Amino acid sequence: MRAVAVFDSLPVDAPDAFRDVEVPEPTPGPHDVVVRVAAASLNPIDTKMRMRAGRREEPLVLGYDAVGTVTALGAEASRFAVGDRVFYAGANNRPGSNAEFQAVDERIIAHAPATLSDADAAALPLVSLTAWEALFDRLAVSTLSHGRLLVLGGAGGVPTQVIQLARALTGLEVVATASREASRDWVRGLGAHRVVDHSRDLVEQLGENSVDFVFSSRTDAREAELAKTMKAQSKLVLIDDPRDFTVTPFKSKAIQVGWESMFARPVHNTPDIAAQGEALRRVADLVDTGRIRTITGEVLHGLDAATVRHGHELMEAARAVGKVALVY
């Protein structure tokens, strides 16, 4: 089958950063389905995986969002049927969706939203799963939760879903940070009750001891500032990798600090791995009932190295508003 692969940790503009390859079609494992991929979308993890690849003999196929049609079932797969249209993020320790076919564990997929095109559906899984797990698993928010949620970097891909899910499913007051006026307008349009300036001091804008939950995609060096803003026994979840991060400022207020990694469940085959499929099912229902929306920006067409490279260029240069989708 056709695929696009990387063989080295090369910058996006290097001639051999991406290559067109022929690889065997996947054989499903016991819990797998095989999907004919109709569309994929790009995420920062694609760049991270490419730059961690190192020089290698075997092709590394990237792609951690997809929508497509089930074509085969593993011996123990029973949740889907051949012909079902599904969407998923997959796992970053298995071949990705920059290929004609992909094998994926059926426990981490769901029927794709019926109201969305392939491009729009492919833009949803990774950001939605990360947002869902951050809110409902790491921060332990529930549909009965009240209080204030602060979303740092509100215009980013995952934060846009955090804002929408919090508004759709909880009673939380959602406050988001953004820097540019266009970003502030965008975040308000997604449902944030209030938008504050990301570049200014949070304590000055929100006051001390005023926040119950924090989701951060842009933590920077703000530990002391965040600790002052947060209430005692509140919760902070991060998805970024801030340099020299320290938990010391949070200790005296017994603030819980943790990270969200969407790939933890599928990579480590956790006992609750099927929670990802259920979360995507809920997300699809929210989309189809008009309660949340996908954030698709640029749509490119073609499964070839040139198209995948162009998508990475757009993403890495931040020239696309919303997700970059690849329709095959």
Which tens digit of pLDDT belongs to each residue from 79-135?
A: 999 999 999 999 999 999 999 999 999 999 999 999 999 999 999 999 999 999 999
Out of 77-86, 187-196, 239-248, 262-271, least confident range: 239-248
Owner of token pair 């085959």: 269
Which tens digit of pLDDT belongs to each residue from 30-49?
A: 999 999 999 999 999 999 99
pLDDT category at 318 given cuts 50, 70, 90 is: confident
C-alpha to C-alpha distances, 271 to 12, 135, 233, 320, nearest whole angstrom: 37, 20, 28, 37
- Round the average pLDDT of the chain to a whole number and report it: 96
Q: How far out from the chain centre does Cα 274 lie?
A: 17
Packing angle of the helix pair 275-288, 125-132 (nearest 10 deg):
110
Alpha-helix runs per DSSP H in 146-201: 157-169, 181-190
Q: Would you give the DSSP letter of residue 307?
A: H
Alpha-helix runs per DSSP H in 170-304: 181-190, 202-206, 223-229, 248-251, 264-268, 275-288
Q: How far out from the chain centre does Cα 176 lie?
A: 18
* Number of helical (H) and strand (E) elements in the chain, helices listed first: 11, 15
Which tens digit of pLDDT belongs to each residue from 276-302?
A: 999 999 999 999 999 999 989 899 999
Delineate the domains of the chain, giving CATH numbers in brackets: 2-124+270-327 (3.90.180.10), 127-259 (3.40.50.720)
